[in-house]
Structures are given as structure tokens and as C-alpha cells.
């Protein structure tokens, strides 16, 4: 059955951790999970790819890009496979890592520099929910771009089996200010998805597949 609870919607009692804060709660869940053909090892997908229900998202090449590297996604779509889920979660639980970070990516050329960070062991609800942060970094094109950042964007944890159980949220008007330091205050979903639902329905061959879409 599809996940029906709106995991990740912040409540008035949610307290961001260590300076993180919520922007106004303008996100909404994304139903289903559109299928895309094989991306030939690329982490960046073209927005105009035709849908292909018969193609499996499991065909996407595993991510081998480190979080210290930068990608350019000219159509604003990043597909990031988080591999070795079990090991990454153990490192967080034992305090070796605060979170598991995806690659930094430019939303266009020129574009904004963004990054997805995942707290597999949780933030405010450790051991119960997976938390997700979206970060806007200082980038090399910032002088050419309009500020504040106002592009509609979405973050989705994809169902890699094609079962239609993807979980995601849309930010309609993020209003990120230009980073003065290395990055802005992250946009945080403390309860993006429960760990039980993730491990029962969305974990595939010890990996997770996240998709970030930044609209023009």
C-alpha cells in the first residue's frame, strides 16, 4: 500500500537543531513516482525525458560522487543514490557522522549550488524518523543570479521498484537569501519519512534513491 501519512510536515512544537530553521510550511506531498529510462550512469536527469513505466529505477548507476565534488545539472534535476545504507546509518548512530551528504550540484549553467543532506538516524526523533535537509551553498555564479532564490523545488525519496510508494515534498516559495558564509540555514524536514516505512518499503538492495527537482 502507498504511504499515506504526511511525514515531514513541521508542527508548531518541532524544534530545529543547532540553528536550523523551518521556512513557512508550504510543502505538499508528491504522490506516486514517475518512472524514467536509464540515465546511463549520470546523476543528473533531463526534465524532458519521456516517462517509461517499464523501466526500473534500479537501473540507475550507483552514486560514486563524493560530497566534496560538484555536479552541473543543466535541467535542474538531480538523482542521487545513497548506497551502503546500513553502514551509513551505523556511522551516524555511533557519532562518526552527523549526516550523510549527497554531492553539491548546480541547478543550471549558470545556476545555484545546492546539496541534500540526510540524517538516517534522525534529528529530533532519533531512531524513529529520517530527517532531510536542503542546503543552498555559496557558488561561483552567485553574482549573476537573482536573489532571493524563489524557484519552486521538490525532494522525493523514490520507490525503486515501481510500486508507487515514493515520498516527497514540494517547497512552493523557498525564499533562500544569498549565502553570506559557506551556506544558508538549511530547509529541514525533521520527519521526512519514518524509518520503519523507509526500511520496509523504500530501501532496495541497501540503497535509497533521492530526486531533487528545481524548476526554472
Domains of the chain (ranges plus CATH)? Answer: 57-200+209-214 (2.60.210.10)
Q: Measured in whole angstroms, how far is the alpha carbon of residue 4 from the centre of its chain?
A: 19
109-148 confidence digits (pLDDT tens): 999 999 999 999 998 767 899 999 999 999 999 999 999 9
0.95 exceeded by the pTM?
no
The 8-class DSSP code of residue 42 comes to: -
Query: Residue 39, Cβ neighbours under 10 Å: how many?
Result: 18
Under 8 Å CB-to-CB from 134, ≥6 apart: which residues?
Answer: 114, 115, 116, 117, 153, 155, 171, 186, 187, 212
174-208 confidence digits (pLDDT tens): 889 999 999 989 899 999 999 999 999 999 999 99
Amino acid at each position: 500500500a502507498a504511504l499515506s501519512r504526511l511525514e515531514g510536515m513541521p508542527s508548531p512544537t518541532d524544534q530545529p537543531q543547532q540553528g536550523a530553521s523551518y521556512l513557512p510550511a508550504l510543502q505538499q506531498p508528491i504522490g506516486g513516482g514517475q518512472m524514467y529510462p536509464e540515465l546511463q550512469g549520470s546523476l543528473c536527469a533531463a526534465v524532458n525525458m519521456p516517462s517509461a513505466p517499464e523501466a526500473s529505477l534500479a537501473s540507475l548507476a550507483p552514486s560514486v560522487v563524493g560530497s566534496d565534488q560538484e555536479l552541473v545539472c543543466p535541467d535542474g534535476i538531480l538523482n542521487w543514490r545513497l548506497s551502503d545504507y546500513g553502514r551509513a546509518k551505523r556511522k551516524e548512530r555511533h557519532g562518526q557522522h552527523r549526516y550523510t551528504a549527497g554531492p553539491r550540484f548546480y541547478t543550471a549553467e549558470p545556476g545555484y549550488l545546492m546539496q541534500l543532506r540526510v540524517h538516517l538516524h534522525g534529528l529530533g526523533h532519533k531512531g524513529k524518523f529520517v530527517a532531510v535537509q536542503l542546503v543552498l551553498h555559496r557558488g561561483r555564479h552567485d553574482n549573476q543570479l537573482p536573489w532571493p532564490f524563489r524557484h519552486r523545488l521538490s525532494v522525493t525519496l523514490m520507490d525503486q521498484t515501481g510500486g508507487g510508494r515514493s515520498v516527497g515534498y514540494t517547497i512552493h516559495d523557498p525564499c533562500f537569501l544569498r549565502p553570506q558564509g559557506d551556506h544558508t540555514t538549511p530547509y529541514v524536514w525533521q520527519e521526512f519519512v519514518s524509518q520503519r516505512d523507509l526500511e520496509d518499503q523504500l530501501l532496495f538492495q541497501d540503497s535509497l534513491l533521492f530526486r531533487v527537482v528545481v524548476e526554472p
